[in-house]
Structure 1
Amino acid sequence: MEFFEKTVETDVKYEGRILTVRVDTVELADGSISYREIVDHSGGVAVAAVDDDGCVYMVKQFRKPYDMVITELPAGKLNDGEDPLECGKRELKEETGLTAEEFISLGDFYPSPGYVREKLYLYLARGLRQGEAHLDEGEFLTVEKVHIDELVRAVVNNEIHDAKTVIGILKADKYLKENKN
């Protein structure tokens, strides 16, 4: 059996500043009709900025959907047509004040492909230089440095819940262990 769904109709329910919600009427492979609730998002980038001592720059910020402070990698939304690497550089500078000599792609992933159309890109930043942060309007966060070994332990012990951070930390750790130079 082939796996496909043909979109018959799209009904946009909400169009906001950062996302669009739509319901697609689809024809399934067997000819039956079904409905898919979909959230469209432009995607984003997260950066694991690791210093020469193996410490990663993390941000803590309040996240309203969970009504709590979440520890995350510096990250942000892609602007329309923006290159993911340039977005990563911009977000790292805005949130932490850091620039980096080297950015290494750690790949990309779909955070929740069952209903969200979004791709997140991950980068490892090395050769860090400290500058001044410039947060977006309405953005409040603190920055802390945590050794990557401690972050891996926190991921394994289910102390970090943000998916991009979990994936980014594990990929950065693997890359650093395989490329000790």
Structure 2
Amino acid sequence: MDTGEMDHLIEKKLSSTELFKGRLLHAYRDVVSLPDGSQATREYVVHPGAVMVVPLLEDASGSTRVVLERQFRYPVGRVMVEFPAGKLDAGESCFACAQRELREETGFTARQWAHAGVLHPLIAYSTEFIDIWFARGLQMGPRNLEEGELLDVFTATPDELLDGCRQGLVTDGKTLTAALWLQNVLSGNWPLDWQDAA
């Protein structure tokens, strides 16, 4: 896809004011210069970035199931179905974070990994990005949840996941994006470059 010339769309920061600094989120209000010479205000949240893992459980017959989680998400007040995910620690690579989150949340480690892409879930008001990884050759081990982290781990077929998306049972944006990736990977339309875990 040709995105064309973009200089006429670029905004430039003139000043920045810190609004809030918490354990996870850091909010700012910036004054920017618009391409037409006028000025505007932009409020946004700085986020360290995150990863999401699409774990594939494959059996001897060639059938595939995906590993999912159920977790209560306080801001929306409901239990959500999601793929394993979590934020980057300071200085941590996306791949190391993906391996850590899969192991901590589900107990699984993976023999092979493939980087699928990057998702920007909140482009209007956050710097957050989510690095998307696929994992296969799963081996079960102990979970190591963080204090206060309560979640159920379960498996579903790809068709069951897609049906949950269609019915509105799965509404988490990153998981909906992962379902699109999964559908295209399994159909052969979006091949992955699988690498052995280091």
Shorter chain as denominator, the TM-score bin is over 0.9
Corresponding position of 1:12: 18
Deviations 1:3-29 (A, max 9, x none): 111111110100111110100011111
* 3-state SS of 1:70 partner: strand
Corresponding position of 2:150: 140
TM-score (norm 1): 0.95
What stretches of structure 1 move > 6 A for 4+ residues in a row?
none
Q: Could you tell me how far apart the structure 2 residues matched to 1:153 and 1:49 are?
A: 18
> Would the aligned equivalents of 1:106 and 1:168 in 2 still touch at CA under 8 Å?
no
1:45 to 48, 51, 64: 51
Q: Gaps (5+ residues) in structure 1?
A: none
**Deviation at residue 138 of structure 1 after TM alignment:** 1.1
Deviations 1:63-111 (A, max 9, x none): 0001110010000001122111110110000000000011111100110
Q: Could you tell me how far apart the structure 1 residues matched to 2:71 and 2:11 are?
A: 39
**Deviation at residue 175 of structure 1 after TM alignment:** 0.9
Identity %: 36
* 3-state SS of 2:8 partner: coil
Tell whether 2:8 aligns with 1:2: yes
**Deviation at residue 158 of structure 1 after TM alignment:** 2.5
| Root mean square deviation, CA, Å | 1.4
> Would the aligned equivalents of 1:59 and 1:72 in 2 still touch at CA under 8 Å?
yes
Tell whether 2:126 aligns with 1:116: yes
Deviations 1:161-181 (A, max 9, x none): 1111111122022112216xx
2:159 to 136, 146, 149: 149
Corresponding position of 1:169: 179
**Deviation at residue 157 of structure 1 after TM alignment:** 2.9
* 3-state SS of 1:122 partner: strand
> Would the aligned equivalents of 1:106 and 1:172 in 2 still touch at CA under 8 Å?
no
Corresponding position of 1:29: 35
Q: Could you tell me how far apart the structure 2 residues matched to 1:106 and 1:16 are?
A: 31
TM-score (norm 2): 0.87
Equivalenced residue count is 180
Corresponding position of 2:69: 59
Deviations 1:143-172 (A, max 9, x none): 011111110122233321111111112202
1:92 to 99, 102, 117: 102
Q: Could you tell me how far apart the structure 2 residues matched to 1:95 and 1:101 are?
A: 17
